């Protein structure tokens, strides 16, 4: 047989896996991959145990548990004044990653263009490639990570099928505002182009800011798939459960894909989350303060090092400039820091097609204080 011709020739093991492996190999403190080292809410865990002891072991309904979709609709209404019909507009998926993949497969056809803003999350481009589309990378402005509206205007065309935005933004923490969405709506208006709004860090926003959802913009909502993650909200990234919200016609197409990717997502966890959301609709309200305290704790710890943190408005990531420590490029620096100093980070060039000439690495501060203290102690030696 002829050797298999890869459909994703540029994809190897992700940097997140590589850095976590390197961290393990060198017993480094792992502040690279984006996962918390604290537990989900205890009552939610009890509900999971109950669900496992109950009769929730067979396939969930294809679009997701109706009780969970209803709870999500209620949350969207209470939090953002967004009306979403749980029957036709909300679909439970196996993580936001699956929602992103499904949305992309649903709309992108051969040779369509998909605009992403670098630095961007790594799952977007492979999903576009598998759909036969072409990813067009536009850099966010540097170092404040804003959309360059002029470049977007010049790049949009009748070939553009989808634009992907992410706010709060991984890895920079930058936020899109309602004014940004207004600008985006104006620019997309002339085109038959969809919007994928990745809002998985919706509850991790700081300094009194409010998360702006694309769904609250009536015009954008008509062309938008918004994706969310229970993993991020409930400190349970390993559960791989999320959801997509989109108008009925878009949800119907997304479900056609979802039906043949996973058919349905894990049943007992959906049951537990439905009960938890109904019993504790306010749980997410404490998340901004909870994560802000961690951001500030880590920033104070970094202040005693030669690393310089960049402003962080949201997400549980902190970018830091290591220019005062080393001239190494970021990938080599991240390896060196892991191997020689026992702290694993993510170099930000991996989020770019054409990285800027910067000396930045990303730390995940969703960690217990003892973990952050231990990392800071090592970083002080740099």
Ligand X SMILES: Cc1ncc(COP(=O)(O)O)c(C=O)c1O
Is residue 119 near ligand X by the rule CB under 6 A? no
**How far apart (Å, rounded) are the C-alpha atoms in residues 301 and 309?**
10
Binding test (CB under 6 A) with ligand X, winner from 32, 160, 166, 371: 166
Binding test (CB under 6 A) with ligand X, winner from 18, 20, 34, 314: 34
- For ligand X, give the closer residue by CB, 200 or 360: 200
Is residue 20 near ligand X by the rule CB under 6 A? no
> Nearest to residue 123, comparing CAs of 152, 94, 150, 99?
99
Residue 199 CB, nearest approach to ligand X (Å): 9
Q: Is residue 163 within 8 Å of 115, Cβ to Cβ?
A: yes
Kindly indicate which of the ranges 103-111, 180-188, 229-237, 343-351 contains the residues binding ligand X, using the contact rule CB under 6 A.
Answer: 229-237
**How far apart (Å, rounded) are the C-alpha atoms in residues 52 and 49?**
5
3-class SS letters over 213-277: CHHHCHHHHCCEEEEEEHHHHCCCHHHCCEEEECCHHHHHHHHHHHHHHCCCCCHHHHHHHHHHH
Residue 324: Cβ within 10 Å count: 11
Peptide bond into 171 cis (omega under 30): yes
Residue 268 CB, nearest approach to ligand X (Å): 17
CA dist 330 → 325, 345, 348 (Å): 12, 10, 7
Residue 34 CB, nearest approach to ligand X (Å): 4
Is residue 71 near ligand X by the rule CB under 6 A? no
Task: Name the residue with tokens 């209620």.
Answer: 74
Is residue 36 near ligand X by the rule CB under 6 A? no
Binding test (CB under 6 A) with ligand X, winner from 172, 213, 229, 305: 229
Helix extents (H) in 7-65: 15-25, 42-53
Is residue 40 near ligand X by the rule CB under 6 A? no
Residue 142 CB, nearest approach to ligand X (Å): 19
Residue 204 CB, nearest approach to ligand X (Å): 10
Residue 349 CB, nearest approach to ligand X (Å): 17
Binding test (CB under 6 A) with ligand X, winner from 121, 181, 322, 363: 121
Tokens matching residue 241: 């459960």
- The footprint of ligand X on this chain (CB under 6 A) covers a number of residues equal to 14
Rounded to the nearest 5 degrees, what angle is found at the Cα of 137, between the Cα atoms of 132 and 142?
165
Peptide bond into 119 cis (omega under 30): yes
Residue 98 CB, nearest approach to ligand X (Å): 7
Binding test (CB under 6 A) with ligand X, winner from 242, 309, 314, 347: 242
Is residue 96 near ligand X by the rule CB under 6 A? yes
**How far apart (Å, rounded) are the C-alpha atoms in residues 133 and 112?**
5
Kindly indicate which of the ranges 71-79, 92-100, 212-220, 354-362 contains the residues binding ligand X, using the contact rule CB under 6 A.
Answer: 92-100
Is residue 129 near ligand X by the rule CB under 6 A? no
> Nearest to residue 238, comparing CAs of 58, 13, 37?
37
DSSP code of residue 145: -
Residue whose CB is nearest to ligand X in the complex, by number:
95
Binding test (CB under 6 A) with ligand X, winner from 20, 65, 91, 97: 97
Kindly indicate which of the ranges 65-73, 95-103, 127-135, 252-260 contains the residues binding ligand X, using the contact rule CB under 6 A.
Answer: 95-103
Kindly indicate which of the ranges 50-58, 234-242, 346-354, 374-382 contains the residues binding ligand X, using the contact rule CB under 6 A.
Answer: 234-242
- For ligand X, give the closer residue by CB, 307 or 364: 364
Q: Is residue 362 within 8 Å of 34, Cβ to Cβ?
A: no
Which stretches of the chain bind ligand X, using CB under 6 A?
34, 95-97, 121, 166, 170, 198, 200, 229, 231, 237, 240, 242
């Amino acid at each position: 047989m002829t050797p298999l011709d890869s459909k994703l020739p540029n994809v190897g093991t992700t940097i997140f896996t590589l850095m976590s492996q390197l961290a393990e190999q060198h017993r480094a403190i792992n502040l690279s991959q984006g996962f918390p080292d604290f537990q989900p809410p205890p009552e939610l865990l009890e509900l999971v145990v109950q669900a496992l002891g109950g009769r929730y072991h067979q396939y969930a309904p294809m679009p997701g548990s109706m009780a969970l979709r209803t709870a999500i609709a209620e949350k969207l209404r209470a939090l953002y004044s967004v009306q979403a019909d749980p029957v036709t507009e909300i679909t439970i998926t196996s993580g936001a990653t699956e929602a992103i993949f499904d949305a992309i497969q649903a709309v992108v056809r051969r040779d369509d263009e998909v605009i992403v803003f670098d630095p961007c999350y790594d799952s977007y481009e492979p999903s576009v490639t598998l759909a036969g589309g072409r990813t067009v990378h536009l850099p966010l402005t540097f170092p404040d990570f804003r959309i360059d509206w002029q470049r977007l205007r010049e790049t949009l065309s009748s070939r553009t099928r989808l634009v992907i935005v992410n706010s709060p933004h991984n890895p920079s923490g930058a936020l899109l505002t309602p004014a940004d969405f207004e600008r985006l709506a104006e620019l997309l208006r002339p085109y038959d182009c969809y919007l994928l709004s990745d809002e998985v860090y919706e509850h991790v926003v700081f300094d009194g800011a409010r998360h702006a959802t694309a769904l609250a913009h009536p015009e954008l909502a008509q062309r938008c798939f918004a994706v969310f993650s229970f993993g991020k909200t409930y400190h349970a990234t390993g559960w791989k459960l999320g959801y997509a919200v989109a108008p009925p016609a878009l949800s119907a197409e997304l479900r056609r894909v979802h039906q043949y990717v996973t058919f349905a997502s894990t049943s007992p966890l959906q049951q537990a989350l439905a009960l938890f959301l109904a019993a504790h609709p306010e749980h997410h309200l404490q998340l901004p303060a909870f994560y802000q305290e961690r951001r500030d704790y880590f920033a104070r710890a970094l202040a005693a090092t030669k690393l310089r943190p960049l402003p962080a408005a949201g997400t549980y990531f902190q970018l830091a400039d290591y220019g005062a420590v080393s001239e190494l490029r970021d990938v080599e620096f991240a390896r060196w820091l892991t191997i020689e100093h026992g702290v694993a980070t993510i170099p930000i060039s991996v989020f770019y097609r054409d990285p800027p000439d910067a000396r930045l690495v990303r730390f995940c501060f969703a960690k217990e204080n003892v973990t952050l203290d231990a990392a800071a102690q090592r970083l002080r030696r740099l």
